[in-house]
Chains A and B, each alone.
Chain A
Amino acid sequence: MTAYSKPLPTISSLNRPYWEGLKRHELVMQRCGDCGKIWYPPAPFCPECWSRAVTWQKLSGRGKVNSWVVFHQAYFPSFKDDIPYNVAEVELAEGPRLLTNLVGVDRTEMRVGLPVEVVFDDVTEEITLAKFRPVRQLS
């Protein structure tokens, strides 16, 4: 197996719980114990009311596509073989939006409002990425 060559996230004191959650295959974000707001990216305290009563909470992993693009140009050599590849901005059911790649989706299905759910992609031993796939109705 060849080594993963795409850019990896920068882990900081603020975002470490987010990445540790993904490693456990859980999508977690910060939640304010006072006003109830859930937000992303991670903040030192609640960006709404500045409360310090912040906890990390597991989210549903459900959301919808808020917008999306398709790259026809490779800016990193490691993405060259993926061209054309998609990047989507997913709006989670809990509110925050995440940039991600959609997997298991046909180009013709891509649309604003498409319901999606998280899938966990273990790209290295340490790093798992939250990607999303269309929610398929059970027949």
Chain B
Amino acid sequence: MPVWDLRDRAAVCGVGHSPYGRRLNRSAIDLAGEAIRGALDDAGLRRDDLDGLIVSFGTPIGADADTLAQVLGLKLRVYNQTWAHGRFTASCIQWAAMAVNAGLANYIACLAAVSFSGLRKPMMGGAGDTEGAREAGGGHGEDPVFGMTSPGAGAALVAQKYFSRYGATSRQLAAVAVAFRKHASLNPAAIMREPITVDDHQNSRFVCEPLHLLDYCLINDGAACVLVTTAERARDLQKPPVYISGMQGLPAGREEFIWAYPGFGVSQQAMFDYEPGLQPVYQMAGVTPQDIDALFTYDAFSILAWMALERFGFCRPGEAAAFTQDGRIELGGKLPMNTNGGLLSEAHVMGWNHQVEIVRQLRGECGVRQITNAQVIQWANAYGDSLIYRRG
């Protein structure tokens, strides 16, 4: 038992988001303001209550934390931002959960905001992309010298390896895209609402083979915000609290590759049969994968849903291809995933739109896509971090 047990000690007390769209003609700061305002309204709080800010996917692509504090007239005691890379959603919420319990701030707005349409085009993979220019290659395995560029290329490398190692197929992978699109069709906020079939997926063009266009997430404009406070304070606000029951940090090192779990054998990872055991997030929350009512994951590419399922022990390595068939991950299935439509079909807000959906599911606010009696929902990713939320 850690000295400082944070199970159910922090809570989400408000969520908000901007409209999502392919081209909103609004800046990231503009969108961020709307999301923060929405979250405060949702919690029944005012601007002056807000004394903490953590921006995910910040400068130089997303909304900049320094600018936000200035132009929104905030008075912050705690703030931070991550660089413009997805993957830090859980980290930001973890830092906020710790900071409010340490008394560093009372209410911390955690968010991402981006206007991809307002950026120079080559930003995701081309000459303006700072990712591939890192000293030893990009964070997703980029190496522009060989034309290995864009986040999807590393995911394609993982997909090819997966197909080869486990005899799975692109046709099986289509089930992920089809399920999330079905969910988006029930979500008025989603950008892509037209249902798709496995054949639509198979007939969509290759971007980086073996991944098809429909294996790729959206590139869009939007902002989403989660307001974190202590469990005690959250109980006194207007909406029921959603407790943060378990947390698991973001791992790094030679055995990690952003799109694959240890042992998978891409990048410099060793290759072995991965055994997840009971991951720390479950131990902290006092639950097991069998207790999870719905799973949300960073689905920048469909293959990441398979990697997340295997990484956290919902099925064994190589079994996610079969596990995701026959509606199991759809609403009404045994383990609904990304009921908002995910990055694939709702919007790419770096997973922050998923946090909004999780909170609304646990409050019972999701209407036609409501999961019956949702009590415990998990955010868990191919790259190994996680949060478990519990209904208050």
Chain A positions near chain B (C-beta within 8 angstroms)? 6-10, 12, 14-15, 39-42, 47, 66-73, 75-76, 79, 82, 84-85, 87, 89, 96-97, 99-101, 111-113, 129
Q: Which residues of B contact A10 (CB under 8 A)?
A: 133, 135
CA distance A54 to B147 in the complex (A): 31
Closest approach, in angstroms, between the C-beta of A31 and any C-beta of chain B? Answer: 15
Query: A101 contacts B147, CB within 8 Å?
Result: yes
Query: B146 contacts A76, CB within 8 Å?
Result: no
Q: Which residues of B contact A87 (CB under 8 A)?
A: 143, 146-148, 153, 157
Closest approach, in angstroms, between the C-beta of B143 and any C-beta of chain A? Answer: 4
CA distance A84 to B266 in the complex (A): 22
Query: B208 contacts A72, CB within 8 Å?
Result: yes
Residue of A nearest to B266 (CB): A67
Query: A67 contacts B127, CB within 8 Å?
Result: no
Given contacts A72-B207, A73-B208, contact A7 B145 (CB under 8 A): yes
Answer whether residue B161 sits at the interface, using C-beta atoms and an 8 A cutoff.
Answer: yes
Using A70-B209, A100-B146 as known contacts, list a sample of 6 further A-B pairs with CB atoms less than 8 Å apart, ordered by residue number in A.
A6-B145, A67-B157, A69-B210, A73-B207, A79-B147, A87-B157
Question: Which of A6, A12, A72, A84: most chain B CB closer than 10 A?
Answer: A72
Query: B149 contacts A89, CB within 8 Å?
Result: no
Closest approach, in angstroms, between the C-beta of B260 and any C-beta of chain A? Answer: 10
Interface residues on B, range: 35 or more
Q: Which residues of A contact B143 (CB under 8 A)?
A: 87, 99
Neighbour of A69 across the interface among B137, B208, B268, CB < 8 A: B208
Q: Which residues of A contact B290 (CB under 8 A)?
A: none
Neighbour of A68 across the interface among B122, B160, B205, B265, CB < 8 A: B160
- A-B CB contacts (within 8 Å), total count: 101
Query: A70 contacts B145, CB within 8 Å?
Result: no
Residue of B nearest to A40 (CB): B268
Neighbour of B141 across the interface among A12, A72, A99, A111, CB < 8 A: A99
Neighbour of B136 across the interface among A42, A66, A97, A112, CB < 8 A: A42
Q: Tell me the interface secondary structure of chain A in the complex.
A: loop
Q: Which residues of B contact A76 (CB under 8 A)?
A: 122, 126-127, 144, 147, 149
Query: A89 contacts B144, CB within 8 Å?
Result: no
In the assembled complex, 18 residue pairs joining A and B whose CB atoms fall closer than 8 Å, in A order, are A6-B147, A39-B268, A42-B136, A67-B158, A67-B161, A69-B157, A69-B209, A71-B153, A72-B206, A72-B207, A72-B209, A73-B208, A75-B122, A75-B147, A76-B127, A76-B149, A85-B147, A111-B164
Answer whether residue B125 sits at the interface, using C-beta atoms and an 8 A cutoff.
Answer: yes
Query: A69 contacts B156, CB within 8 Å?
Result: yes
Residue of A nearest to B144 (CB): A7
Q: Which residues of A contact B145 (CB under 8 A)?
A: 6-9, 129
Query: A129 contacts B146, CB within 8 Å?
Result: yes
Q: Which residues of B contact A39 (CB under 8 A)?
A: 268
Residue of B nearest to A127 (CB): B145
Closest approach, in angstroms, between the C-beta of A47 and any C-beta of chain B? Answer: 6
Closest approach, in angstroms, between the C-beta of B28 and any C-beta of chain A? Answer: 22
Q: Which residues of A contact B208 (CB under 8 A)?
A: 69-73
Residue of A nearest to B211 (CB): A69
Q: Which residues of A contact B127 (CB under 8 A)?
A: 7, 76
Question: Which of B125, B146, B156, B210: most chain A CB closer than 10 A?
Answer: B146
Answer whether residue B220 sits at the interface, using C-beta atoms and an 8 A cutoff.
Answer: no
Query: B135 contacts A99, CB within 8 Å?
Result: no
Residue of B nearest to A12 (CB): B135
CA distance A129 to B133 in the complex (A): 17
Answer whether residue B46 sits at the interface, using C-beta atoms and an 8 A cutoff.
Answer: no
B254-266 to A contact mask, C-beta < 8 Å, 1/0: 1000000000011
